[in-house]
Structures are given as structure tokens and as C-alpha cells.
Chain A
Amino acid sequence: DAGVIQSPRHEVTEMGQEVTLRCKPISGHNSLFWYRQTMMRGLELLIYFNNNVPIDDSGMPEDRFSAKMPNASFSTLKIQPSEPRDSAVYFCASSILGNEKLFFGSGTQLSVL
């Protein structure tokens, strides 16, 4: 398996623009997680899905953030409108069950100017 695949690898955008991050989990994994990593706050869980259903989105910072998982092989994290403080590395991760070994993608480095 190719592992968790994220795109794009890097994203540079201007404040106010819409940003869409994409994730393909490992085939057969039922749980998908979106994390954000910054120097100041470390790794923060934004939202996670079990069997394509959002279970906990309490980590989503504001209404500007939204996430979807239309099927078992694809998820998106959208920020609209983006702000400079959203600049971070966004990771997607998946696992067979939510409480088992977690596999991470390579992340998307987002810079909002």
C-alpha cells in the first residue's frame, strides 16, 4: 500500500482565499484524523471520522474550517477564508480502528500570506 496520501505537498495562498487540502487514507482503514502542527501549539487534533462519519470536530478552530469525507477513500479539509494564523503543517492520518496504530501522511505545508 502507498500509505496515507496528502495533496498538495505545499500550498501558498493569500489571505482571504479558499484552501482545500486532500487526503486518501490507507485502504481498509476505518478511522481518519486531521491534525495541525505548529511550533507554538504542537500537534492538535482538528477532527476525526469513523466509517466516513464525523465523530468529534471540537478541535476545529473556527467556522472557517470544515471537513468532509464523502467516501472511505477520500477526505477534504477546507479553510475559507484563510488567514495568516492558519499557516501550519496539516496532517492526515488513518487507522484500522480509532484506537490502534496510526499512520500519517507526509503533510501539507500551508502558508497564508
Chain B
Amino acid sequence: KQEVTQIPAALSVPEGENLVLNCSFTDSAIYNLQWFRQDPGKGLTSLLLIQSSQREQTSGRLNASLDKSSGRSTLYIAASQPGDSATYLCAVPYNTDKLIFGTGTRLQVFP
């Protein structure tokens, strides 16, 4: 059974810092991994999708890497801003189409 773990569970940092959020999964036989953002009281927004053939994906200040062999992915946020405050979740497919989500990292960036 696929299990997804995210560390840390919560993070509070001053504006401008570079951040690394971690995601671990137990079954490395995945074909992609997604990172999502969730604002309080809102749905999830897909940030980045990395295919298993890729090692990383970039979107603006966000960079996600994937190491299938070690069962890990990281989300790097450069020059963090208060607007980045949200919960970040990673998710991997299981049994083809089922997405299994991690428990998330709650990020707060203060001015």
C-alpha cells in the first residue's frame, strides 16, 4: 500500500527565505507526482506535476524535484513571500488513477 509522508508538518519563516518542503512515498513504482497548494477554506490548486521520466519541474519561484529510487520529492520555494502562506500537499498515483495525498506542510511566511 502506498503511504505518503510530508515533513515538516508546519513551518513559519520570515519573508525572503528560501524553503524546502519534503515528501516521501513508500512505493517507488509511480509514474508522476503532483504538488498542490491549499488556502484556508478553499480547494486544492495543482502547482507542479513531475512525470517519472523527469527529475524536476519549475514554475516561477517554485522548483520540484523527484527521486523515484529513494522515494522522495522536494518542493523548493525561492525568496518566500507572505502570499506563499498556505498548506502544501504532495500526491502520487496508486493503482493507476487513485491519487494518494500526504498530510501536508502548513507554511506561514511573515513580513
- The chain A residue sitting closest to B6, CB to CB, is A42
Question: Which of A11-19, A75-83, A103-111 forms part of the interface with chain B?
Answer: A103-111
Per the 8 Å Cβ criterion, residues 35-64 of A in contact with B are 42-43, 45, 48, 50, 55-56
Supposing A42-B101, A42-B103, A100-B49 touch, asked if A56 and B43 sit within 8 A by C-beta, the answer is: no
B97 near A55: Cβ-Cβ < 8 Å = yes
Residue positions of A touching B, CB distance < 8 A: 4, 31, 33, 42-43, 45, 48, 50, 55-56, 91, 93, 98-107
B43 near A107: Cβ-Cβ < 8 Å = yes
Interface size class of B (residues with CB under 8 A): 20 to 34
- Bound CA–CA A104/B43 (angstroms): 6
Question: What residues on B are CB-neighbors of A33 within 8 Å?
Answer: 99
- Out of B49, B100, B103, name the residue touching A101 (CB < 8 Å): B49
A101 near B46: Cβ-Cβ < 8 Å = yes
- Out of B44, B99, B102, B104, name the residue touching A45 (CB < 8 Å): B99
User: Majority SS of interface residues in chain A?
Assistant: strand
B36 to A: closest C-beta gap in Å: 8
- Bound CA–CA A33/B93 (angstroms): 13
Known: A42-B104, A101-B34. 5 other contacts (CB 8 A): A48-B98, A91-B44, A102-B99, A106-B43, A107-B43
Question: What residues on B are CB-neighbors of A45 within 8 Å?
Answer: 98-100
- Out of A43, A91, A99, A103, name the residue touching B96 (CB < 8 Å): A99
